[in-house]
Structure 1
């Protein structure tokens, strides 16, 4: 009988509910859970494709030691011995864990308990340091706790939604759709997007403020100074519930309007319009994400935003408040258990002797970390200089995602003992592990996650554990026991969650924000049946609340919030040698370092290779043509990516996605260019304002190929491969011409020696086409030219699953375009329904003159909606041409 299981999506911090269905043959399909309060049945393109990412191809099935298969006992005993030896010889700070927002809360809890309460060091940090730690620091400075005040519902209830440093349409698509639906229902709602780029999110905006990189503190300081002179200021709230307003106002008002324009790069009228809109609109929600956090002044940016909401009392009430949008599925859960090196479990403070004593007594631990540990950048510097002797990396890929990534790779390579727990056998980080441990992936894990609105949901298993893969909490508990520690006798995640809940309520009585004591006594049946719930959920039902701070009651000792006086930092980093500003970030259809989304052909069809987004004038001055290749260089590293020339990008700025790695491209680990520059308060790296040089990549020949087999690498001076239906698609560029292309193809695509190519060569143009067939099946085809290859790529990919029984059809393939009556869908626009640009153009020419009409005709844009802005551009472009 088919089974259906309610679980949670493993991607962004929206925390969408998913229903996973397993049929009688074991085939999994997914759909949105209409009952989950985060998404009400909606899923984005990544969530919709979850079932396409759970195959066992490339999975790590067994523990390995030094690259050889080992048993669990052998691997765990070795780990316990090496960690124990390091601690005995060099002290507890000689070991470290680097963990991840991909872990479930139960995994996170056990890792922090082991390191902080039993090893006695706080050297456990997380990749959430790279995305949300400035929000944590800003919250703690202002509120006395890491509290997100509001709910997703507030975004829909607001009359003004400000999206700053947030490409909501691509990074949190389901929230974007909730906002778009609310705006459609109430056209009077206003949306302001603050971003150096005109991203797809700006499609919904009434106002787009193309701010200079790191101009946010100046903008919100200017807003605070403006509000303080208006009737929007809430003097009663200020007096009753806050401290420090005078100093914050004095600092904010010291900046002249001319300085404000200079620091933000904005015009006088747009600044005044924004200030007036905020002033006269009571129900304001300000959503902020990585564009705010990933900065050397990220914490100050957060506090500048919080200052404006505190000054107006617009916090914690329906439709108003600051809203930190988390990047990972369980960044919030990690924060709840003290996942950062400067925190304790249950939102307690490592710098507080009372909190340390409380946690130690609850755990019954022999010690407790008495000072903050090393934050991510500092941690890997300690690995590099030899202070860290043993390192355990869990569910993350720092060789790709950390700043100064080449130096991080060198540090890990040189570390005496490295353990990596992962689902995949081959990642950029796993290749340096002394011990590799196979972990459970989505669909196999069982536990909880917490989303951006403090909602805890179950992530349930729907598939059996493959081979010898085990839960991360189990791995940690086994190592703890082998190190001689008591208190890790867990047999199920239920026991861990119940302990986590009990600690949150221990000696609390309302003194701490995080309290889920209502679940302290939960058993297996209750855990299995658990419905999504928001914290706090105290045992005393009368203390239940949905929002925080509307009536004060902050978590500083005097229960008052703190205004933080912040000063705009000098953030101009470009120079004659490095004149461009690099901004890194996400794209719509990929996730982190592609270990999961890279498995889906549908997700890779939209953008199949790494790119650099350049303004047309910059590209022209550099001599870079559209679809040409560019070299990007900083003092720390170099990358080669495709040029994407677009008016959406501001002059002097370059956007490059952070997903690509050595498994999918020749040289596209973009964080290798990012310096280890951090926010002085949060320790979060600055990934949005990096000085780089840009120049054309010199290639004598360009190529595109399709292959049923994953090609060998390295293939060429530039290569980027992506999963395709029936095989792989590959982009290529060569600095010099290969002497024997047939031999090159045989090596690259592992072709049988007796298979001969069909093709042609044009000596005058330099074009070369080769295709290899076995029976009616295409094995591989390569298209080469002196300029970027003009081939109908999606059509060529479709030939991997087509039959080629006659010579005419084979020659059509070699030509690189479909024959008459066989339309090419064009580049994918809608990943949810695999709709291409040519299909949309045909629909427009057939009478579909709105996005809605295109959706009705083709379904494009009717699921997650994150492609609607692209569809609108195509529609408007077609109609403009038709009118000329």
Structure 2
């Protein structure tokens, strides 16, 4: 029965994409006739970074239904997870009051809010007074509201004078940030989802879009089916549902996509498919150290990636490289889409650079349908963490801690004395938990994320979170989150549409989640919790002079004014009236920007600029094309561990399933983790479908049922990470990209045997 349910869900997901030309939306509401809503309240889906608009149906003060917002970019469509959000909101399995442990390792017991906030302030105050500001830290989330992330970062960086502020976007999007910043000078895509409707070729690499971003996959599939000649290239070691609609599927050896993309660039130049009019005027060539070089230097660099050489590295047919390069360059408009398969690597920034390189050398950029577009994993990783500066090296609106001018600007805006903001970047995520394990971080506040489940090399993390001298406070809505096993204090938040606030999705669109219902008694909006915490800590009252999230938004809107992230025109009232606005949006009459860096489109580009394109994030106004060499993974297979192991997503669950696990249909469809293995590998190892198998790496081993199929290429096994009883992240190493400090979840060495 479980298998048939999963097949049903997969069928529904694919039908949402492949049969979408009929225009029929997914079922979006399961309300009974007697639960017909009295009102519909506008909001945003709580799951992935697609940022689908929703309408929440309310009757007698209770949320009873949900449907897609026809005025937002998703045009009323929701995926299965989004269509089943109401049972999550109404789940009886909620944290509904603060809880604390009387002794380390003892049970969590309910306490009052005053006692909880006093305890939180006391622990942080004691740590700072005894060990200094660097002894405390905040670990946030791409699921927090923009107002929450901005406020927490302000409290810690300006109020407590520590830059130990990081979050789970470090685990998923940091390399995308690094790629955009090093290639274009500024973070975030230059295009929007509308480019999907105008692209004639899609280059999808490191993304199982059909399962991770189903609504966008539907849009891609609809574009292909409705428009003759549209081509799809999918580069992925797994044969996913995404690759099954591709005209070309390139199942390269894991970790070799840098060689693949350099080789595609070689073909473009060799076949005279490059656009010299574009790159000759708008591109600056850089060697791997950042030094200026020439186009001829770049050509010479690419000689190591001639197709015959790259094909041998990637273990693919040479013809696939030629075909992919020609499709990419000769298409009227090519759009690249990628996600964790590119980012979660020790060379994730380099991989991002090479995607941008393909667009820059071919001129497939800054035109409708021609763009390099990073897909985002969380609903507010962009608008709440990246844009608001809630990472250890960032300040709001593209400012960076290492820049004295930027620190001075924020000190003036926040009204604090010069020198208040420390010039030293704080701990990035992996380093933060290492510092916790060493006893250097004494007090840690974790907000709306589950690091005891999501971080790599989890045995090391669990040991760090068990440090006898540490104090860990967690703001978390659901009691089954693994992180709560290590919490000394738990604070109960209002969840999703139980408070209002802004999410910013992957296309630079900011949308307002309006409050639809009251939270359970004992749950409070996190903005209010953070303000009360700061006040009890003795933070200067003017830094936290906010009544609610709307007040915080007004300040954040002002902080963005005059920057290249300018969204000053997005007033709260305007966001209530409209279903999302795309920045830059400098004034209340501006419609939002569909295409950055283009004169006449982007308000940051002067109207009288002499050139059509202006990459204003870089001093020379040009995009950078980087010579990034192929390098393998931090841990490659060997005689003892001969297989590649990778992590993956499934359509039924999102992240650690603390939400999707509350929905019976989703939980029954995929109740537990498994290991995916190619049929040839399974036959050689004597493994049959459904067999219990031991998956082992140098860090740990787990017993998982085998799913034998043609999805993984030979030599590769894959596991999903949603199961809290089978914590597969114990298997992965915590090596990080030296630029972005994002961990390498996608590749490590493993072995498997029948249990």
One fold, TM greater than 0.5? yes
Determine whether 1:105 maps to 2:140. no
Alignment correspondent of 1:261: 311
Alignment correspondent of 1:498: 554
Q: What CA distance in whole angstroms lies between the structure 2 residues aligned with 1:339 and 1:621?
A: 48
1:178-257 map, 5 Å: 178-244=219-285, 246=295, 247-257=297-307
Provide, for residues 301-325 of structure 1, a one-character-per-residue CA deviation record: whole Å limited to 9, x for no partner. Answer: 0001111111222212101010000
Q: Pick from 657, 661, 672 the counterpart of residue 594 of structure 1.
A: 657
Determine whether 1:340 maps to 2:396. no
Alignment correspondent of 2:15: none
Determine whether 1:407 maps to 2:460. yes
Determine whether 1:569 maps to 2:622. no
Determine whether 1:435 maps to 2:452. no
Q: Secondary structure at the match of 1:200?
A: coil
Change (3 A) 1:177 1:198: same
How far is the alpha carbon of 1:283 from its aligned partner? 0.4
Q: What CA distance in whole angstroms lies between the structure 2 residues aligned with 1:48 and 1:350?
A: 41
Change (3 A) 1:158 1:561: same
Q: Is the 8 A contact 1:198 1:649 kept in 2?
A: yes
Q: Pick from 450, 461, 473 the counterpart of residue 397 of structure 1.
A: 450
Q: What CA distance in whole angstroms lies between the structure 1 residues aligned with 2:592 and 2:677?
A: 50
Alignment correspondent of 1:670: 728
How far is the alpha carbon of 1:527 from its aligned partner? 5.3
Q: Secondary structure at the match of 1:630?
A: strand
Change (3 A) 1:335 1:94: same
Alignment correspondent of 1:835: none
Q: What CA distance in whole angstroms lies between the structure 1 residues aligned with 2:439 and 2:95?
A: 29
Bigger shift: 259-268 or 205-214? 259-268
Q: What CA distance in whole angstroms lies between the structure 1 residues aligned with 2:738 and 2:388?
A: 23
Provide, for residues 21-77 of structure 1, a one-character-per-residue CA deviation record: whole Å limited to 9, x for no partner. Answer: 12248351111111112x101110101111121224221111122122222121112
Q: What CA distance in whole angstroms lies between the structure 1 residues aligned with 2:240 and 2:428?
A: 31
Alignment correspondent of 1:605: 668
Q: Secondary structure at the match of 2:148?
A: helix
Provide, for residues 344-388 of structure 1, a one-character-per-residue CA deviation record: whole Å limited to 9, x for no partner. Answer: 111112221111110111011341131221111111111111111
Determine whether 1:514 maps to 2:549. no
Q: Pick from 514, 529, 535 the counterpart of residue 577 of structure 2.
A: 529
How far is the alpha carbon of 1:541 from its aligned partner? 5.7
1:296-445 map, 5 Å: 296-333=346-383, 334-366=385-417, 367-414=420-467, 415-445=469-499
Q: Is the 8 A contact 2:307 2:321 kept in 1?
A: no
Q: Secondary structure at the match of 2:497?
A: coil
Provide, for residues 829-871 of structure 1, a one-character-per-residue CA deviation record: whole Å limited to 9, x for no partner. Answer: xxxxxxxxxxxxxxxxxxxxxxxxxxxxxxxxxxxxxxxxxxx
How far is the alpha carbon of 1:248 from its aligned partner? 4.2
1:779-794 map, 5 Å: none
Provide, for residues 437-460 of structure 1, a one-character-per-residue CA deviation record: whole Å limited to 9, x for no partner. Answer: 001212313101011110001112
Q: Secondary structure at the match of 2:203?
A: strand
Q: Secondary structure at the match of 2:565?
A: coil
In the alignment, structure 1 segments of 5+ residues that lack a partner are 663-667, 698-884
Determine whether 1:63 maps to 2:113. no
Alignment correspondent of 1:153: 194
Give the number of equivalent residue pairs.
Answer: 683
In the alignment, structure 2 segments of 5+ residues that lack a partner are 1-36, 102-107, 286-293, 599-611
Provide, for residues 136-193 of structure 1, a one-character-per-residue CA deviation record: whole Å limited to 9, x for no partner. Answer: 0011101111131111111121110011011111000000111111111113100011
Bigger shift: 597-606 or 17-26? 17-26
Give TM-score scaled by structure 2 length: 0.88
Q: What CA distance in whole angstroms lies between the structure 1 residues aligned with 2:298 and 2:129?
A: 49
Q: Is the 8 A contact 1:81 1:483 kept in 2?
A: yes
Change (3 A) 1:297 1:446: same
1:536-575 map, 5 Å: 536-539=584-587, 545-550=593-598, 551-554=612-615, 555-571=617-633, 573-575=636-638
Change (3 A) 1:82 1:679: same
Provide, for residues 691-716 of structure 1, a one-character-per-residue CA deviation record: whole Å limited to 9, x for no partner. Answer: 1121112xxxxxxxxxxxxxxxxxxx
Change (3 A) 1:83 1:122: same
Determine whether 1:10 maps to 2:71. no
Q: Is the 8 A contact 1:356 1:368 kept in 2?
A: yes
Provide, for residues 284-313 of structure 1, a one-character-per-residue CA deviation record: whole Å limited to 9, x for no partner. Answer: 001011110011111000001111111222
How far is the alpha carbon of 1:403 from its aligned partner? 0.2
Determine whether 1:291 maps to 2:369. no
Q: Secondary structure at the match of 1:155?
A: helix
Q: What CA distance in whole angstroms lies between the structure 2 residues aligned with 1:232 and 1:147?
A: 27
Q: What CA distance in whole angstroms lies between the structure 2 residues aligned with 1:252 and 1:11?
A: 40
How far is the alpha carbon of 1:614 from its aligned partner? 0.6
Alignment correspondent of 2:16: none
Give TM-score scaled by structure 1 length: 0.75
**Using CA pairs below 8 Å that are at least 6 residues apart, which structure has the higher relative contact order?**
2
Alignment correspondent of 2:607: none
- Bigger CA radius of gyration: 1
Alignment correspondent of 1:748: none
Q: Is the 8 A contact 1:252 1:566 kept in 2?
A: no
Q: What CA distance in whole angstroms lies between the structure 2 residues aligned with 1:574 and 1:69?
A: 48
Q: What CA distance in whole angstroms lies between the structure 1 residues aligned with 2:329 and 2:91?
A: 55
Q: Is the 8 A contact 2:480 2:658 kept in 1?
A: no
Q: Pick from 504, 512, 524 the counterpart of residue 458 of structure 1.
A: 512
Q: Is the 8 A contact 1:219 1:260 kept in 2?
A: yes
Bigger shift: 261-270 or 161-170? 261-270
How far is the alpha carbon of 1:13 from its aligned partner? 0.7
How far is the alpha carbon of 1:544 from its aligned partner? 5.5
How far is the alpha carbon of 1:528 from its aligned partner? 3.9
